Amino acid sequence: MKLLLLLLLMEQTAAQQRGLFPAILNLASNAVISSNATCGDPEPEVYCKLVEHVPGRRIKNPHCPKCDANSVLSKERHPITNAIDGTNQWWQSPSIKNGRQFHWITITLDLKQIFQVAYIIIKAANSPRPGNWILERSLDGVTFDPWQFYAISDSECLTRYNITPRLGPPTYKSDMEVICTSYYSRLNPLEHGEIHTSLINGRPGADDLTSDLLNFTSARYIRLRLQRIRTLNADLMTLSVRDPRDIDPIVTRRYYYSIKDISVGGMCICYGHAQSCPLDPVTKKLQCVCEHNTCGENCNECCPGYHQQPWQPGTVSEGNTCEKCNCHNKAVDCFFNQTISELSLSLNSHSVRQGGGVCIDCQQNTAGINCETCRDGYYRPAEVSPYSDSPCVECNCDLRGSKSSVCARDDSQP
């Protein structure tokens, strides 16, 4: 039993010495998702699979199913909710047989509260991955900023997005760098391809989660601005110069977007001071269970009475636990004062002059930065500790022999 208690104590001590972070969840599964276009809406359409029409490996009798948003058959419906429901169903856009405008489609996810997003994984269904597109973030759903650009080729990073392409697998030189990559826009595989976007790992501040990286990865809204469907090179020239509605439908029906899964890995923003973030039954939001003597919705402030040092976020290596003020048990709350700290005027809980905690509303006739002395008209006898209950005694100066009713506040001082 003693060994078990010792191990628990060591574990608690270690937790105080390092930052605490909630588990990463798939935030997409609880999100609200929308798209400005879906196949079969407003009327049914026929589509074909590109993989069945590739020169050199054509299928003799290609299957071209129907998409109908109002069908009673689930296999014919491909709403955007299919992209986050965890099933094998998928979302599908109208094919460009319906017009060139269906290269440009926007998908938006509302995560319902602000989270720190670590990664996004997108899995295509029965079509290639998108060619040109932009991954964006927003806190309010109004102003969006880019997270990453994707292009069919390195040259299109420059010509379309005016960004020097990052060659090979994506890498990052700074915590807030926005790059353009063609790595995930390759034609193959023709279906079931994946796009992995890491927003934290691989960046300089990943280990200690710098403020820049936290700001860069914070989002409530995620937007996919799809801007160009990936096509076979043999069809590229035809599709680029002619209206798709004037081209043989067997060509245009095979070009559309499809997504069978969007995963958004992220966690509550608790600033390194919570390892749990359960659903609050009242607010219906995930809520940090703050530790390290922190409080606030995001553990973003020190709790009352714990302001001996200024609040700091926890990191992978440092817990930055909020330190209790030393008010000698005579005050409930305190505040941090930088000047007091610089002048070493405040006693910490170890009676060392370190920190800037200033006690508020000292009780039992006490006063001072740490409630260590007495208010006017009272004094503390030399043998009485400032931790004692009611340590201050009324002066009771005889007016016949005193110039004032105020006496020395601390009898232990000469």
Q: Which of 208, 9, 314, 11 is nearest to 322 (CA)?
A: 314
The superfamily (CATH) of domain 18-267 is Galactose-binding domain-like (2.60.120.260)
In angstroms, how far is the first alpha carbon of the chain from the final one?
51
Which pair of tokens denotes residue 226? 């799809």
Cα torsion angle, 307, 310, 316, 318, sign: negative
- Ranges of each domain in the chain: 18-267
Give the pLDDT confidence of 294-333 residue by residue, as tens digits. 999 999 999 999 999 999 999 888 999 999 999 999 999 9
Over residues 240-247, mean pLDDT = 55
Q: What confidence score (pLDDT) does residue 411 get?
A: 63
Q: What is the DSSP string of 23-89?
A: PPEEGGGGSEEEES--TTSSS-EE---GGGS-TTS--SS----EE-TT-SSGGG---GGGGTSSSS-
Please write the tens of the pLDDT for every residue from 389-405: 999 998 888 777 677 66
Q: How confident is the model at residue 6, as a pLDDT?
A: 42
- Residue 408 — pLDDT band, cuts 50, 70, 90? confident
pLDDT tens digits, 135-150 = 999 999 999 999 999 9
Instruction: Please compute the mean of the pLDDT values over residues 192-220 and round it to a whole number.
Output: 93
Report residue 68 as tokens.
């109908």
Q: Give dist(CA 41, CA 79) in Å, integer.
A: 10
pLDDT at 237 over 60: no
Q: Could you tell me if 377 and 395 are in contact, meaning their C-beta atoms sit under 8 angstroms apart?
A: yes
Look up residue 410 and give its DSSP letter.
B
Pairing assessment for the beta strands 145-150 and 180-181 based on DSSP bridges: parallel
